Amino acid sequence: MRRFFLIAVPYIWLLALFLVPFLIVLKISLSDTALAIPPYTPQLDFGAGWDGIRNFFAALDFENFTFLTEDALYWKAYLSSLKIAAVSTFFTLLVGYPIAYAMANARIEWRPTLMMLIILPFWTSFLIRVYSWMGILSQEGYLNQFLMSLGLISEPLIILNTNWAVYIGIVYTYLPFMILPIYAALEKLDGALIEAAEDLGCSRLSAFWLVTFPLSKGGVIAGCFLVFIPALGEFVIPSLLGGSDTLMIGKVLWEEFFSNRDWPVASAVAVVLLLLLIVPIILFQRNEQKAREADQ
Amino acid sequence: MAQNVFAPWDDPTETPLIQFKGVTKRFGDFVAIDNLTQDIYAREFFALLGPSGCGKTTMMRMLAGFEAPSEGQILIAGTDMAHVPPNLRAVNMMFQSYALFPHLSVWDNIAFGLKRERHTKDAVSARVEEMLKLTRLEKFAKRKPHQISGGQRQRVALARSLAKAPKLLLLDEPLGALDKKLRQDTQFELMDIQEKTGTTFVIVTHDQEEAMTVASRVAVMDEGRIMQVSTPAQIYEAPNSVYVADFIGDVNIIEGTASPSVNGYEVRWAEGHAPLVAKASQVLREGQRISLAIRPEKVSISAEKPENSVNAIEGKIIDIAYLGNLSTYHVEVAGGIMVKAQTANTRRLSRRELTWEDKVWLNWTDTAAVVLEQ
Amino acid sequence: MKRMSWFNTVSITLGFVFLYLPMVILVVYSFNASKLVTVWAGFSTKWYVELMGNEAFLDAAWVTVKVAVLSSTLATVLGTMAAYVLVRAGRFHGRTLFSGMIYAPLVMPEVITGLSLLLLFIGIGLDRGIFTIILAHTTFAMCYVSVVVSSRLVSFDRALEEAALDLGCTQFQAFRLVTLPIIAPAVISGWLLAFTLSLDDLVIASFTAGPSATTLPIKIFSAVRLGVSPEINALSTIMIGIVTVGVISASLISKRASLRQQAEEQAAVRT
């Protein structure tokens, strides 16, 4: 009885507040827009009995999804989300790997402090961290002031409200997600392997490419997914740092819902976004599974 | 006959392959190697033996190029190695952990060093096949390191380090991770491979039995110094210090004062007891404090006082350790000194002559004890 | 240690400059006297004074704290239960669905979580306000809590619970007297995580908050959409300060606890 209670409480909570809402999204994505409250049809009418239910299902269709394929905006938004997520994941790797490498090679008594300093930004507001770049990247911002005072540029660079600002924002906010798994992989690495490679004729650089990097691949893949997956559905960064031409699907969904009040289309956008995410999520889980097996 | 014995260290015309010249290595304040000078000759199987922290691993890592001496010079084949990085030395190392690359197959692990040199593909694979054959690993070429047993991993590590045909192979506790039975078999295999390839081996170990079995010469180390370098037999039979005698095998140490006599030296060791008689290779002063080192197997034990024995002392059996092939008696003699005597159990133990609390006599010849100056 | 050490020093230094410089700039310019945020015009605390007089921000802050405390506490209870179920309850019908529902919200984009909850609340006719935000935050935070707690439970020696049962505890007593004290650090960090997630959340709150309740992130977001403002800099500085003090004192407390444990263990070895 007690066990039943223990299972039932969180189970019912999640069913009611996670699964059911998601099914509602799915259902509304198959409905039509209407000028009503709530602004979609059909409504499930239990009062009408079986006929009501039959009519309800008969009225569902894939119209919204067809609409998504017809309107170039959505196509472009999906593709551009994928591109922005992929490019920023690549940059995050480029920035994060050397930091993780240096941390793993730092003196052992320094490592916990370095770890804490990497994690600390996690606890500060995401919104504030994104916001802090607005002042840096704007046309009269600190970066332009700095570069112009050095005489490196004569005209201010336009970074804010471009995709570049979005890349920087994603790299900045998701950097710890990249560093931590790579650091974990590198820290486990047996130093004797590098010595063995050098002993067998490798220079330091070739020992890195032939031994260190392949052995940290698991961490690199995990880090890339941990950045790519949330970046794909990102909303705050493109809306604060991106320009009006920065298309990301999270932003489109938000606008579809709040500005256009087109709930069915917003729901359809959500369903497609989720479909897009399924592939990387499954790949990520495979990678984790493999890492766990390798550990045993 | 003497010419057939491999002993280049006794031949003044031989030039050593490795020369340590006044090498000191410090880590901060800690002196790991203390002004050490030592030659090692080609085709030797040279063992560095000592407890952990004695500097043996540091010596090996300096040969490999992972550490640089703080002072002094290391020469390999006459060349100063000071500025030669590990990847450019004709020296390979077999790591204690084996350090097999987990992402590469056995075949690729062995080929790893060869691929760093500009060999043709065929030459590489011919050499890898040869190494696989030498170490009897042909069947496992495609496996990853975690898919083979500990003993097989050890052989992969050996094959990998030998593949480049180094002038010098360094082995860091090569058998440490194997269980005892496998270790003994592998020791002979190592000696066999060393002989076949003609490579110079320097092995680091804390296991004296292993060092004695495989090595042509053993260097016993302590606190950054080499205490004695000699053949295994010499080290055992003629240790030059209490430390070496005690480190290698089991030994009884009896302290006393020496005085010259007709047959060598008389050693007074206990008030009111007859002095012990010992031969010494060195010249001792009258009244000099010395230690006598006597191996337990050279001490005979009997119930009656033996006749015509130069060294006979009385004692009481405190403990008997029955080891199957041997029995060791722990006998308390004058002054509370414990002396161990070992006898071979060549007969079945149908009747035990000697037992606990028995009064017994211990005796040994005048050449059985080694005289060590303090 | 000596390997590529110049390279390591440079990467660590640049890395931390990149991570911390933007926030340092934010803090410094929050004390700027000028209304123009990017031009330094002398030291001033006037933006803090102005912030303190801004009722809308203070109200939103109060709502945010209430939501965070309530939702993280509820999420900790539910998440710990869920973790216990995942690790200890063995097989039951729908276990796969259950663990799926625990892990899915972790990778679900916030826009989708927010949208779906909003549609639910409208569907069942629930008025949006503090209550709906709490429900929403509890739901996604409990998943984080259960991941944190279950990773601790997995490494927990089950024999301890069995010993408690053997000594006469009921299941619940064994949990309360043995399991809970041992997993307490994980439960506490779960709570802290849930609390921070709730404080931080903009997207889900935007969907689930009604006109009657606005949280601080929603307020900040609508303000910064128009550009950088000195008041927001001041507010950010306060938030950064609270987090920094909180994290540093938490890590000092845990460090002291582990040092004390070490000292006690050494003392125990000596006696």
Residue B86 has what DSSP assignment?
G
Number of domains in chain B: 2
What is the predicted pLDDT for the residue at C1? 40
pLDDT of B320-336, one tens digit each?
888 888 889 999 998 88
pLDDT tens string A153-190 = 888 888 888 999 999 999 999 999 999 999 999 999 99
Judge whether B101 is closer than 8 Å to chain A, CB to CB.
yes
Whole-prediction pTM value? 0.84
Are B209 and B277 in a shared domain?
A: no
Q: What is residue A161's three-state secondary structure?
A: coil
Give the single-character DSSP code of A18.
Answer: I
**Which of A 246-285 lie inside 8 A of B, CB atoms?**
none
Question: Domain containing B361: what range?
Answer: 250-373
3-state secondary structure C197-257: HHHHCCHHHHHHCCCCCCCHHHHHHHHHCCCCCHHHHHHHHHHHHHHHHHHHHHHHHHHHH
Q: Do A196 and B164 touch (CB under 8 A)?
A: no
> Is there a contact between C202 and A145 if contact means CB atoms under 8 Å apart?
no
Name the burial class of residue A183, with classes exposed (0-12), middle (13-18) and buried (19+) by CB atoms within 10 angstroms of its CB.
buried
Note whether B187 and B264 are same-domain residues: no
User: Does C104 lie at the interface with A, CB-CB under 8 angstroms?
Assistant: yes
What is the phi/psi pair of residue B179, to 5°?
Answer: -80, 170
Q: Is residue B218 part of a domain?
A: yes
Q: What is the CATH number of the domain that holds B224?
A: 3.40.50.300
CATH superfamily ID and name for A67-295: MetI-like (1.10.3720.10)
Q: Is A10 in CB contact (< 8 Å) with chain C? A: yes
- Contact yes or no, C with A (3+ CB pairs under 8 Å): yes
In angstroms, how far is the first alpha carbon of chain B from the final one?
A: 37
Shortest distance, CA A82 to any CA of chain B (angstroms) = 31
For residues B177 and B148, state if they share a domain: yes
Q: Are strands B79-80 and B71-76 parallel, antiparallel or unpaired?
A: antiparallel
Q: Which residues of C touch A194 (CB under 8 A)?
A: 3
Residues B225 and B254 grouped into a single domain: no
Asked if C196 reaches chain A (Cβ–Cβ under 8 Å), the answer is yes
d(CA A280, CA A286): 10
In A, which residues are within 8 Å of B97 by CB distance?
190, 192
- Asked whether residue B197 falls in the same domain as residue B263, the answer is no
Residue that terminates a domain, selected from B215, B245, B275: B245
Residue B283: is its pLDDT beyond 80?
yes
Q: Comparing A60 with C10, which gets the higher pLDDT? A: C10
**Tens of pLDDT along A66-105?**
777 777 788 888 999 999 999 999 999 999 999 999 999 9
A34-to-A39, A41, A262 alpha-carbon distances in Å: 5, 6, 9
CB within 8 Å: B87 and A201 = yes
* Same domain for B170 and B79: yes
Question: Do B34 and B132 fall into the same domain?
Answer: yes
- Comparing C-alpha atoms, which of C97, C101, C59 is closest to residue C78? C101
Q: Do residue B309 and residue B210 come from a single domain?
A: no
Instruction: Dig out the tokens for B255 from the structure.
Output: 């302290």
Distance from CA of C67 to the nearest CA of A (A): 16
Please indicate, yes or no, if residue B2 is contained in any of the structural domains: no
Rounded Cα–Cα distance for residues A215 and B101 (Å) = 9
Residues B166, B207 within the same domain = yes
At B111, list the tokens: 């080929």
Out of B210, B245, B280, a domain closes at B245
Do residues B188 and B291 both lie within one domain?
Answer: no
The average pLDDT across A109-118 equals 89
Contact between A197 and B112 using a beta-carbon 8 Å cutoff = yes
Touch A-B: 3+ C-beta pairs under 8 A: yes
Question: Model confidence over B31-69: pLDDT tens digits?
Answer: 999 999 999 999 999 999 999 889 999 999 999 999 999
**Out of A196, A206, A215, closest to residue B103 by CB:** A215
| Residue B91 near residue B166 (C-beta atoms within 8 A) | yes
Q: CB–CB of B161/B6 below 8 Å?
A: no
> What is the distance between the alpha carbons of residues C105 and C144, in angstroms, rounded to a whole number?
9
**B199 and B88 together in one domain:** yes
List the single residue in A with minimal CA-CA distance to C141.
A14
CATH assignment at residue B304:
2.40.50.100
Is B52 buried (19+), middle (13-18) or exposed (0-12) by CB count in 10 A? exposed
Neighbours of C205 (CB within 10 A): 26
Closest chain A C-alpha to C271 CA, distance in angstroms: 29
Inter-chain residue contact A200 with B112, CB threshold 8 Å? yes
Whether C201 contacts C163, CB under 8 Å: no
Could you give the maximum distance between any two Cα atoms of chain A, in Å?
Answer: 82
Instruction: Give the nearest chain C residue to A194 (CA atoms).
Output: C3
Starting at the earlier edge strand, list the strands of the sheet with B45-49: B91-94, B168-172, B200-205, B45-49, B217-222, B225-230
B361 touching A (Cβ < 8 Å): no
Mean pLDDT of A213-227: 93
| Residue C123 pLDDT level (bands cut at 50, 70, 90) | confident
| Neighboring chain A residues of C61 at a CB cutoff of 8 Å | none
Q: How far apart are CA B160 and CA B105, in angstroms?
A: 12
- Reported ipTM: the value is 0.87
Chain A, window 91-110: residues with a beta carbon less than 8 angstroms from a chain C beta carbon: 95, 98-99, 101-103, 105-107
Closest-CA residue to B289 (of B226, B245, B356, B242): B242
Of the residues B203, B229, B245, which one is the last residue of a structural domain?
A: B245
